[in-house]
């Protein structure tokens, strides 16, 4: 099918839940996406941080094929080695974490973390703590619980009544966080860098105050690393760059090279909140996705992609600052860490985003004014330099 035929056919078959970009993809390789007509686009979004090793990485493809020829799925009623190999590798990246739970998505990971925090407090600690505190601007998923936890009202329209037990406080306000904590607070759920919220890193002093408040008041700290994890920010987990010590970590997106997977990591003590039968999933951590995720972890470590993300992120932000100086009044701020970068424009950015797409660079526009870059960790300076040149052209083209 041609691109236009695909777009027309979708309207007849799918629920209109996605505001899709005017771009159809027929195949992909490395940093590149190709349309049915053979046009090539440089992908600086990587499926919203999912394809961390780029598209169709040969070792990931080989792992998929090899595992598909032995066992794909047997359910979590049976033991299989691939899940244990992955758990061991994943826990080794997060000192202090001792137990893993595997699921299928970021929303499920956050849903699991919310359930774990509540059940641990009630059934293990014997305390009536159930309330979850989140931050304004956050995004934690699309299930009823996780969209309630999300600190953006636009995702909640029409879905009420929403579950009780969630409180949203202003971003970066330690006094408001302290005031919101009471005897019923179970956990604080936080993204070290807000993604959908506009690539907003937690201020270091606020992160320190959050950690202190949680410890003083017996509240669990849940770090949502769904978008920020797997080396993207120049640390394997973004919380490590803030000096945080979470009680629970949630993971998804880049963990399995493009296959749907999520995970929850926690301590052995807190894992007592999930005894047999208390939580589960049919597909979570099956042999196929576990084998692939373990391969992804091996490649990230072997190829030094975490340190590479830190180095390239520093270079990119400096280069973008130079772009901002050449176009005064157009760029408000460049922020983020590693290869998670937000370029906040001074005005709505749809026209700039469209110009970038016309120059065949795929990025995301969030919060109307923030160009969000989440390139594969295999990106090199030539790709990023090409983007910066295209951004200068896009800014010039939309200067009026």
Let me know: does 123 contact 226? Beta carbons within 8 Å: no
- Of 299, 294, 308, nearest to 339 by C-alpha is 308
pLDDT, position 331 = 97
Strand, helix or coil for residue 99:
strand
Q: Mean pLDDT across the stretch 131-136? A: 98
- 181-207 pLDDT, tens digit per residue, is 999 999 999 999 999 999 999 999 999
Closest CA to 234 of 293, 314, 319: 314
2 pLDDT band, cuts 50/70/90, is: very high
Percent of the chain with pLDDT over 90: 100
Cβ–Cβ contacts within 10 Å for residue 303, how many?
13
Distance CA 178, CA 69 (A): 53
Q: How much is the CA Rg of the chain, to the nearest whole Å?
A: 21
DSSP character at residue 55: B
Cβ burial, residue 160 (10 Å; 0-12/13-18/19+): exposed
Q: Which pLDDT tens digit goes with each residue over 5-59?
A: 999 999 999 999 999 999 999 999 999 999 999 999 999 999 999 999 999 999 9
Candidates 5, 17, 45; CA nearest to 196 is 45
Contact 42, 380 (CB under 8 A): no
pLDDT exceeds 90 at position 215: yes
Cα 388 to Cα 393: distance, rounded to the nearest angstrom: 9
290: Cα separation from own chain's centroid: 19
How is 222-280 classified by DSSP, letter by letter?
EEE-TTTTTTTTSSSSHHHHHT---SEEEE-GGGGBTB--EEEEE-TTGGGGS-TTSS-
**What single string gives the DSSP state of each residue in 192-235?**
SEETTTTSEEPPHHHHHHHHHHHHHHT-EEEEE-TTTTTTTTSS
Residue-level pLDDT at 400: 66
Strand pairing of 248-251 and 262-266? antiparallel
Average model confidence (pLDDT) across the chain:
97
Give yes or no for a contact between 52 and 231, defined as CB atoms under 8 angstroms apart.
yes
In angstroms, the CA 368 to CA 8 distance is 27
Residue 5 is predicted with a pLDDT of 94
Q: Is the pLDDT of residue 132 over 80?
A: yes
Cα–Cα distance measured from residue 129 to residue 136, given in angstroms and rounded to the nearest whole number: 22
C-alpha atoms less than 13 angstroms from C-alpha of 310 in its C-beta half-sphere = 11
Identify whether the C-beta of residue 148 lies closer than 8 Å to the C-beta of residue 162: yes
User: For the segment 250-263, what is each residue's pLDDT rounded down to a tens digit?
Assistant: 999 999 999 999 99
Q: DSSP string spanning 150-176?
A: SS-GGGGTT-PSPPSSEEEE-TT-HHH
Q: Check: CB of residue 346 under 8 Å from CB of residue 332.
A: yes
**How far, in Å, CA of 198 to CA of 213, rounded?**
26
Average pLDDT value for residue range 351-370: 97
pLDDT digits (tens, 9 = 90+) for 299-322: 999 999 999 999 999 999 999 999
Predicted local confidence at residue 111, as pLDDT: 98
User: How far is it, in rounded angstroms, from Cα 338 to Cα 225?
Assistant: 14
d(C-alpha 93, C-alpha 51), whole Å: 19
Give all domains of the chain, ordered by start, each with its CATH number: 1-43 (no CATH), 59-302 (3.40.640.10), 304-400 (3.90.1150.10)
């Amino acid at each position: 099918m041609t691109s236009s035929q695909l777009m027309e056919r979708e309207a007849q078959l799918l629920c209109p839940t996605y505001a899709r970009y005017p771009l159809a993809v027929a195949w992909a390789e490395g940093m590149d996406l190709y349309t049915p007509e053979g046009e090539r686009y440089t992908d600086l979004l990587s499926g919203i941080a999912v394809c961390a090793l780029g598209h169709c990485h040969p070792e990931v493809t080989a792992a998929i094929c090899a595992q598909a020829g032995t066992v794909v799925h047997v359910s979590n009623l049976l033991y299989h080695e691939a899940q244990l190999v992955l758990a061991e590798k994943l826990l080794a990246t997060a000192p202090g974490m001792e137990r893993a739970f595997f699921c299928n998505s970021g929303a499920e990971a956050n849903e699991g973390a919310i359930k774990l925090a509540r059940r641990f407090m009630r059934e293990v600690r014997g305390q009536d703590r159930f309330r979850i505190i989140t931050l304004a601007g956050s995004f934690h998923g699309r299930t009823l619980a996780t969209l309630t936890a999300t600190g953006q009202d636009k995702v909640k329209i029409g879905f009420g009544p929403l579950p009780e037990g969630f409180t949203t406080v202003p971003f970066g306000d330690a006094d408001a966080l302290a005031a919101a904590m009471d005897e019923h607070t179970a956990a604080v759920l936080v993204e070290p860098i807000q993604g959908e919220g506009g690539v907003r890193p937690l201020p270091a002093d606020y992160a320190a105050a959050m950690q202190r408040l949680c410890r003083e008041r017996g509240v669990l700290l849940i770090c949502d690393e769904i978008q920020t994890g797997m080396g993207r920010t120049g640390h394997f987990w973004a919380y490590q760059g803030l000096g945080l010590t979470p009680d629970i970590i949630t993971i998804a997106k880049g963990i399995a090279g493009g296959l749907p997977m999520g995970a929850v990591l926690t301590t052995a003590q807190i894992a007592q909140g999930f005894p047999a039968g208390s939580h589960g999933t049919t597909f979570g951590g099956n042999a196929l996705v576990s084998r692939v995720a373990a391969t992804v972890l091996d490649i990230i470590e072997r190829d030094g992609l975490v340190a590479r993300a830190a180095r390239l992120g520093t270079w990119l932000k400096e280069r973008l600052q130079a772009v901002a100086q050449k176009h005064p009044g157009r760029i408000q701020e460049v922020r983020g860490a590693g290869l998670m970068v937000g370029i906040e424009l001074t005005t709505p950015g749809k026209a700039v985003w469209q110009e970038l797409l016309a120059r065949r660079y795929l990025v995301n526009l969030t919060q109307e004014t923030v160009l969000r870059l989440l390139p594969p960790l295999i990106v090199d300076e030539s790709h990023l330099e090409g983007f910066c040149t295209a951004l200068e052209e896009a800014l010039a083209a939309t200067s009026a």
